[in-house]
Amino acid sequence: MNKNLHLNIYCFFSVFFLLVSCSNKNTEKSSDSHDKLFETYKANFILELWEINPDWATNIGYHEFDDVLLVPNETQLRTELSFALRHLDSLKLYNLDQLSDNNKTDFYLIKNQLELTQFYNQSLKSYEWDPTYYNIGGTFAYILGENYAPLEKRITNFFKKMERIPAYYAAAKKNIINPSPLHTQLAIEQMEAGLPIFEKDLKDSLKNVQLPDDLKNEILKRSKISVDSIKGFIQFLKKQDKSKGRDFRLGKELYAKKFAYEIQSQYTPDQIYDSAVARKAFLHQEMEKIATQLWPKYMKGVEQPTDKLVLIKRLIDTLSLQHTKADSFKISIQQQLPQLTEFINRKNLLYLDPKKPLEVRDEPGYMAGVAGASMSSPGPYETNGKAYYNVGTLEGWSKEDAESYLREYNNYILQILNIHEALPGHYVQLVYSNKSPSLIKSILQNNTMIEGWAVYSELMMMENGYGNPDPNASTTTPEFWLMYYKWNLRSTCNTILDIGVHTREMSKEEAMDLLTRQAFQQKSEAEGKWHRVQVTNVQLTSYYTGFKEIMDLRTLWQQKQGKNYTLKAFNEKFLSYGSAPVKYIKELMLK
């Protein structure tokens, strides 16, 4: 799945208060120069954004602030808030009507980011109740492990960044109030797992660099102090009263706000919840029809179960036995890619740039053990960055694990995965978004649009007959529909689960029933999802919400175009706006 760092990494404190002038009074009338002024504003905004979020900057590939660790004390909280308010003020100087479409969506994304910052700072306050907020290991590991600059330089930055770790954890202890026991436990685990970065990895790296011995000793001394501070914070967390503490459930009010800023949908969580519940009912109904139709073909002479969910599961289990072998797993993924390209071209679904073929590579070492396929897209600051389709192998897997995995990613689902990740899913979306380059959109990209497009593209391929051996067929086979619906149930039920758990007191029993019996998932997968929904919130709804919004927009666009409607024009037009929230693309497309 597409990894979107800005959803995962929020740093809201700052030491620096940069006085870049962002309030150039604009008196120009022409929209061209209005755009120019806004371009200057954007460049200043990004610079300040990194200054106030150095960890985010490091992780996205901007390395000017690698040596900075911001201490999360009250002063920084105020600095952070004033950053948001000051920029919200600056934005008022720009007249949306005079901006290009590309700048309009950039404007919306910046405004949303500032409001989100304000929301975290004043309402959500996860720095009080979610101790995973203070897990700094990831950025240190990135600086040490990623080969973007000479090791000497990276270690020097690592050393400088360590300096304020004791102050950092002193402030963290002051901030913590009534932490959620579940997040406290997770923070303890994460921080204990991060200790080897300071205790071992740093030492190992020092052996490979040419630095004065005095400095090396200073570095080791400081790493010892850092480890003591981190361990001190872990002890502090272990002493928290686990019988009390904030509920891991976000609650209706906070959830609605977080959903508004992170998903940026035209719908509320309640509307999306109702829509997902209706989608689930529709999927079950369609699956029952298909399963009944297919039963005699696959289950000749076997009595048909009366419970529709049992009936559907029996057919899914049977079709899942059609899978590739462990040693041909990789090659079967690779072989599908030209077939997908050929299909998209033959059906005229959208223009694929032949000069930008998808580059397939073996899964790099650091991803080892993650079988399947995934997209890696270059970060906004990687000048020679390329997108890759990473394909893993099942080498070294136990026979049982491999068999279970191969059944999950059977001949049907494996193709849907390729559609989602590559063609015409994430990869194609990326190629289109690069045609209207925007640093703002590659930094603040809307994940709901990106995942929504990938999920939408799966259905679009099925509707047009993908997987049907008859080249003239206008839709795919019943078998493929059944397996597609099972796949689609996953994102549908993720949405019901997330909103259910965080705003409707859904219990673990209800959650497990939803995932295993109603969505046909393995128990281990469902257990993993239950853990994820307790320690995260909102993100799980992005797939279905984006999908629904794009489907709704397509219907409206089709009505507007009437006889002139073509699917190809819709797809290309939609993608031409880049990774902006669907509601704003809708506004621009329907105007």
Binding-residue total with Zn ion (CB under 5 A): 4
Cβ of residue 378: shortest distance to Zn ion, in angstroms?
17
Q: For the segment 549-588, give every residue that binds Zn ion (CB under 5 A).
A: none
Q: Does 2 interact with Zn ion (rule: CB under 5 A)?
A: yes
Cβ of residue 64: shortest distance to Zn ion, in angstroms?
31
Cβ of residue 337: shortest distance to Zn ion, in angstroms?
17
Q: Does 540 interact with Zn ion (rule: CB under 5 A)?
A: no
| Part in contact with Zn ion (CB under 5 A); list of ranges 1-9, 76-84, 186-194, 204-212 | 1-9
Q: For the segment 166-225, give every residue that binds Zn ion (CB under 5 A).
A: none
Between 2 and 73, whose beta carbon lies closer to Zn ion?
2
Between 323 and 583, whose beta carbon lies closer to Zn ion?
323
| Part in contact with Zn ion (CB under 5 A); list of ranges 2-10, 113-121, 215-223, 504-512 | 2-10
DSSP 518: I
What is the dihedral sign for C-alpha 19, 25, 31, 36? negative
CA-closest candidate to residue 434, choices 373, 380, 376, 374? 380
Between 262 and 451, whose beta carbon lies closer to Zn ion?
451
Cβ of residue 403: shortest distance to Zn ion, in angstroms?
5
Q: Are 412 and 509 in contact (CB under 8 A)?
A: no
Cβ of residue 83: shortest distance to Zn ion, in angstroms?
31
CA-closest candidate to residue 180, choices 247, 135, 261, 107? 247
Q: Does 234 interact with Zn ion (rule: CB under 5 A)?
A: no
Q: How far is CA 399 from the centre of its chain?
A: 31
Cβ of residue 178: shortest distance to Zn ion, in angstroms?
35
**What is the four-CA torsion angle of 289, 290, 292, 298, rounded to 10 degrees?**
180
Structure tokens at 249: 């459930």
Between 83 and 484, whose beta carbon lies closer to Zn ion?
484
Between 153 and 490, whose beta carbon lies closer to Zn ion?
490
| Full DSSP string of 283-298 | HHHHHHHHHHHHHHHH
Between 279 and 426, whose beta carbon lies closer to Zn ion?
426
Between 230 and 422, whose beta carbon lies closer to Zn ion?
422
Between 1 and 588, whose beta carbon lies closer to Zn ion?
1
- Per-residue x/- mask for Zn ion, residues 43 to 82, rule CB under 5 A? ----------------------------------------
Helix/strand/coil (H/E/C) assignment for every residue in 343-388: HHHHCCCCCCCCCCCCEEEECCHHHCCCCCEEEECCCCCCCCCCCE
Cβ of residue 454: shortest distance to Zn ion, in angstroms?
4
Between 506 and 540, whose beta carbon lies closer to Zn ion?
540
Q: Residue 399 carries which side chain, given as an amino acid letter?
A: K
Which H or E run contains 566?
Answer: none
Cβ of residue 322: shortest distance to Zn ion, in angstroms?
9
Residues 6+ apart with CB under 8 A from 558: 565, 570
477 vs 341: CA distance, rounded Å: 20
- Which residue, judged by CB position, is nearest to Zn ion in the bound state? 1
Cβ of residue 548: shortest distance to Zn ion, in angstroms?
16
Cβ of residue 540: shortest distance to Zn ion, in angstroms?
12
Helix/strand/coil (H/E/C) assignment for every residue in 458-484: HHHHHHCCCCCCCCCCCCCCHHHHHHH
447 vs 4: CA distance, rounded Å: 7
- Per-residue x/- mask for Zn ion, residues 249 to 278, rule CB under 5 A? ------------------------------
497 vs 313: CA distance, rounded Å: 20
Beta bridge mates, 389: 360, 375
Residue burial 539-564, b: 16+ Cβ < 10 Å; e: rest: bbbbbbbbbbbbeebbeebeeeeeee
CA-closest candidate to residue 104, choices 588, 590, 591? 588
CA-closest candidate to residue 37, choices 99, 112, 114? 99
**Greatest Cα-to-Cα distance within the chain, rounded to the nearest angstrom:** 81
Between 419 and 443, whose beta carbon lies closer to Zn ion?
419
Sheet strands side by side (includes 359-362): 359-362, 388-391, 373-376
Between 1 and 151, whose beta carbon lies closer to Zn ion?
1
Q: Are 499 and 265 in contact (CB under 8 A)?
A: no
Name which position in 1, 22, 93, 277 contacts Zn ion (CB under 5 A): 1
Cβ of residue 182: shortest distance to Zn ion, in angstroms?
26
Between 188 and 450, whose beta carbon lies closer to Zn ion?
450
Cβ of residue 41: shortest distance to Zn ion, in angstroms?
32
| 399 CB burial (10 A radius; 0-12, 13-18, 19+) | exposed
- Per-residue x/- mask for Zn ion, residues 441 to 470, rule CB under 5 A? ----------x--x----------------
Between 11 and 461, whose beta carbon lies closer to Zn ion?
461
Cβ of residue 2: shortest distance to Zn ion, in angstroms?
5
Contacts with Zn ion, residue ranges (CB under 5 A): 1-2, 451, 454
